[in-house]
Amino acid sequence: MSTYVYGITASAHPALPEGMDGVGDPPRPVRILREGELAAVVSDAPENLRPKRKDLLAHQNVLAEAGAAGCVLPMRFGSVAPDDQAVTGVLAERAEHYKERLRTLDGRVEYNIKANHVEEAVLHRVMAESPEIRSLAEANRKAGGGSYEDKIRLGEMVAAAVKAKEAGDADALRGALEPAAEAVSVGPESTGWLANVSFLVDREAAEDFLAAVEQARKDLPHLEVRVNGPLPPYSFVEPGPAEPAGTAAGGADAGAG
């Protein structure tokens, strides 16, 4: 029977609620595997597991229950090992890495920020910033819309200007929020979003971070900014002792949607 892994914690971590169930139909009982100073929160892995809502919620619930009693390194949904021995073997092999992560992430949560342009607002901004675009648009207007070629040229110029602003706006948003966070993890490109960034935030400083988000919305009104969190620090499990928490980590999207 393969083993489903929810997260990794210290072996001294308080016990989970008795009779706790995890993923699967019927739900598999959650148990603890210990190896030295570390422990893994696991269950038997169901066959043909798919990311259905019921199982996604079960995964999140196990992490929430475990995390309420202390720091847990969350594994992403679908993390499966061949058996219990494989799990304890990884705990032993990577013990120093996981202990460093537990120390670093204790009391921290993740906020995932996605942003995109508000179409009408960014078009106004592009027009205001480009005399060339304004000039061609005005010439087309006076010509009753302009020739086909001029319309195509104007469209291409606007599209290029908007595209050029994406990277700058993503940097501006990150720069506005980074001082309120302890670490940053840039996620993979996500269709429809110009920024997909996760921030590691001290739980006690969450209000300050959210205030920084609101200020960024005011300072960058041509951006639509979506906040998802607080989340378990999915994007910050992997940086090890050689990669301090204050550096940008290549974490993945934290399932923020």
Tokens, residue 136: 């061609």
> Per-residue DSSP letters for 180-194?
GSSEEEE----TT-S
Chunked mean pLDDT (size 10), the chain, 257 residues: 93 86 94 95 92 93 88 92 95 94 92 89 76 73 73 77 83 95 86 88 95 96 92 80 35 37
Omega within 30 of 0 (cis) for the link into 230: yes
Supply the pLDDT for residue 145.
72
- Identify whether the C-beta of residue 97 lies closer than 8 Å to the C-beta of residue 240: yes
Which residue type is seen at 179? P
Q: What share of the chain is helix, strand, coil (3-state, %, to 5)?
A: 45, 25, 35
Q: The whole model's pTM is what?
A: 0.75
